[in-house]
Homo-oligomer: A and B are copies of this chain.
């Protein structure tokens, strides 16, 4: 049995420690196989075998095959929201999201994140699920903007800015995938500039 030393939460008991370790092991082995052989061709039986658990247990940890992939991006909505919440409250709304995105951009430059993004882009069912996840990003971003600006939760300006921003995020990712050399903020800068120009 592989004992994994946890740094902080280790004292929560053997059960939770093993559980966290198994969760991480399944995710790691799954992503390794998905990236090596593709998402659809890889079966849950193969992943379960590689992780040393039964298929039934795997599906106990992750509700579906897709959720294994999406769990690697699970806290992305919170990252966006936190980046916005960290901006000064008197900043104009568009500046707020634009600057927040570039404060955040560093986290998405890793090769690993790029490989996962490429996997999602290349797999139709994952691409669909990913689009759906951005819905949550958009909603949380709108709420965060409203809170930061002291506006009602359903403020239309916040919602439309959130929508435009998420679209820019998605297109920036696509541009980054299509052209790895260009830094991901290239498209974003141009997009926000164009948005101001076109609406002004």
Contact = CB atoms under 8 A, between A and B. Distances in A.
Contacts of A167: 138, 160, 162-164, 166-167
A199 to B, nearest CB: 3
A194 B128 CA distance: 29
Contacts of A159: 171, 191
A161 B200 CA distance: 13
B161 A198 contact: yes
Given A94-B198, A131-B131, A199-B195, A163 B161 contact: no
Given A138-B167, A167-B166, A167-B167, A160 B128 contact: no
23 contacts: A93-B198, A94-B198, A124-B132, A128-B131, A128-B132, A131-B131, A131-B134, A131-B135, A138-B167, A156-B187, A157-B194, A157-B195, A157-B198, A160-B191, A160-B195, A161-B198, A162-B167, A163-B167, A163-B170, A195-B199, A196-B199, A198-B199, A199-B200
Interface of A: 92-94, 124, 127-129, 131-132, 134-135, 138, 156-157, 159-164, 166-168, 170-171, 187, 190-191, 194-200
